[in-house]
């Protein structure tokens, strides 16, 4: 049994140094893995007795061997590495944005000729998200042991989707991992921009709606009861709208807890119904039929479908596998069912366009362009063209939606506030005329 010195990192990405007794290097790695410590690929294990090497020298030897094996060491690529990382270093606020940035950095490093494990070493130092860093540390350790990169990613599905993993596997198999990673980064960033675009368009109207409900709530609970006391003193018959307003105000003031419980109950019941297979399908069908929003939902789903399919096919993923993966990005059960049926038809020898056309869920222009792409052998560029066209259409639709929602919210809030003011002021004016 030998006495080994090691340098590694723990699950949080912190450097750990120490010594351990083991029979050989393989057992050292196993023992350290059980302790949650992963060996740094740039640092070799050094046996203290008889070896004649310090850990530092062993590390240098390992780096030299790595350079011989990989062609270019990390030190030799340091200037280019620093320049590339500085140009790309801008950490995103969300996890998906961080994954996209990490993918972009990894693509840059791999394209520069840096071995994958060394590229992962450099990448881990840039990650500020602790859980994501721990995931990449685990991935690096597995890759260092000879496990395929795509296989190592399987252990962290919360960060790496099936689409991501399958594209990486295709890139490894074809020897184009750097190009696939760059394509993945483009795709992930594009999806994030699309999501931010939709959320940003709805953020202001949502804020206005919540603010308006709060203002009306305060008026109904605080202002209206005080004014209704004045009406009671005069003991005059009130208009029906004023009586309805006062009755509603008293109900909310007396039973506000019941209103809150009812709303919470409705939300819980709706969410439980929505997660059932039948409820999810019916809700997604309703979403597609909503005025204005329904067409936007369809356009977003088609954009995701065409861009994801183009990305997968361009990365070397087979058509049937790509169709299986692409269902998960559409976020609509109705359209997912169409893709499932299309995949079945493709197995039976049909084209992609024909089952999509039969479903009636995809616009004719989309199915026609896909059919042309299949016949001409240019399916991927045609899918990208469809996605680009729908991206522009979504931009225009979101701009129109935003411009319409803002005045609609103002009119609704103004109308509600005006109704409250009218219901209060009209009886007061009538009482004033009566007193004169």
pLDDT in tens, 248-284: 888 888 888 898 999 999 999 999 998 898 999 999 9
Average pLDDT (2-27) is 71
List CB contacts of 91: < 8 A, sequence separation 6 or more: 98, 101, 126, 128, 129
Q: In 219-328, which ranges are continuous DSSP H helix?
A: 224-234, 240-254, 256-275, 277-289, 293-314, 319-326
SS3 156: coil
Instruction: State pLDDT tens for residues 387-421.
Output: 889 888 888 887 787 777 778 888 888 888 888 88
Q: Report which of residues 75 and 36 the model is more confident about.
A: 36
d(CA 355, CA 353): 6
Average pLDDT (295-305) is 88
Q: What is the pTM of this model?
A: 0.60
Q: Report which of residues 95 and 63 the model is more confident about.
A: 95
Q: In 7-129, which ranges are continuous DSSP H helix?
A: 25-34, 48-51, 55-70, 78-88, 95-111, 116-126
Q: Does 79 have pLDDT greater than 90?
A: no
d(CA 216, CA 213): 5
Q: What are phi and psi of 114, to 5 degrees?
A: -80, 135
- Binned at pLDDT 50, 70 and 90, residue 34 comes out as low
| pLDDT value at residue 38 | 65
| pLDDT value at residue 434 | 53
Per cent of the chain over pLDDT 70 is 81
65-69, 216-220, 362-366: least confidently modelled range:
65-69
- Binned at pLDDT 50, 70 and 90, residue 149 comes out as very high
Which residue is listed with tokens 């070397």? 316
Read off the DSSP letter of residue 22.
E
Q: Domains in the chain, start-ordered, CATH in brackets?
A: 2-70 (no CATH), 78-160 (1.20.81.30), 190-436 (1.20.81.30)
The answer to whether the beta carbons of residues 419 and 241 sit under 8 Å apart is yes
Through-space distance between the first and last CA atoms of the chain, rounded to whole angstroms? 110
| pLDDT value at residue 296 | 86
Q: Does 370 have pLDDT greater than 90?
A: yes
């Amino acid at each position: 049994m030998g006495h080994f010195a090691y340098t590694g990192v723990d699950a949080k990405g912190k450097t750990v140094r120490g010594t351990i007794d083991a029979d050989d290097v393989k057992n050292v790695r196993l023992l350290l893995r059980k302790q949650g410590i992963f060996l740094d690929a740039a640092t070799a294990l050094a046996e203290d007795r008889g070896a004649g090497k310090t850990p530092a020298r062993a590390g240098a030897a390992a780096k030299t061997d790595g350079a011989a094996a990989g062609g270019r060491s990390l030190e030799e690529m340091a200037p280019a590495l620093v320049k590339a990382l500085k140009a790309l270093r801008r950490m995103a606020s969300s996890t998906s944005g961080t994954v996209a940035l990490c993918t972009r950095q990894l693509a840059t490093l791999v394209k520069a000729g840096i071995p994958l494990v060394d590229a992962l070493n450099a990448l881990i130092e840039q990650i500020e998200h602790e859980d994501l860093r721990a995931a990449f540390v685990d991935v690096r350790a597995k890759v260092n042991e000879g496990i395929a990169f795509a296989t190592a990613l399987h252990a962290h599905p919360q960060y790496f989707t099936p689409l991501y993993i399958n594209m990486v596997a295709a890139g490894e198999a074809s020897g184009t991992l750097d190009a696939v990673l760059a394509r993945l980064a483009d795709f992930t960033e594009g999806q994030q921009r699309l999501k931010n675009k939709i959320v940003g368009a709805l953020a202001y109207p949502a804020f206005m709606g919540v603010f308006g409900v709060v203002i009306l709530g305060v008026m109904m609970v605080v202002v209206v009861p005080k004014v209704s006391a004045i009406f009671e003193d005069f003991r005059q018959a009130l208009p029906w709208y004023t009586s309805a307003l006062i009755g509603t105000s008293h109900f909310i003031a007396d039973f506000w807890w019941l209103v809150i419980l009812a709303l919470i109950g409705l939300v819980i019941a709706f969410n439980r119904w929505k997660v059932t297979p039948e409820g999810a399908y019916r809700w997604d069908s309703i979403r597609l039929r909503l005025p204005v929003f329904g067409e936007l939902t369809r356009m977003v789903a088609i954009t995701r479908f065409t861009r994801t399919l183009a990305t997968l096919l361009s990365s070397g993923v087979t058509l049937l596998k790509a169709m299986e993966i692409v269902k998960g990005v559409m976020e609509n059960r109705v359209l997912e069912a169409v893709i499932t049926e299309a995949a079945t038809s493709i197995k039976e020898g049909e084209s992609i366009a024909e089952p999509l056309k039969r479903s009636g869920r995809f616009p004719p222009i989309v199915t026609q362009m896909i059919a042309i792409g299949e016949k001409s052998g240019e399916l991927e560029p045609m899918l990208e063209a469809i996605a680009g066209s729908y991206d522009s259409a979504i931009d225009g639709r979101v701009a129109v939606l935003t411009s319409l929602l803002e005045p609609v919210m103002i009119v609704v809030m103004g109308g509600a506030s005006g109704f409250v003011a009218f219901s209060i002021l009209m009886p007061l004016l009538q009482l004033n005329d009566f007193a004169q």
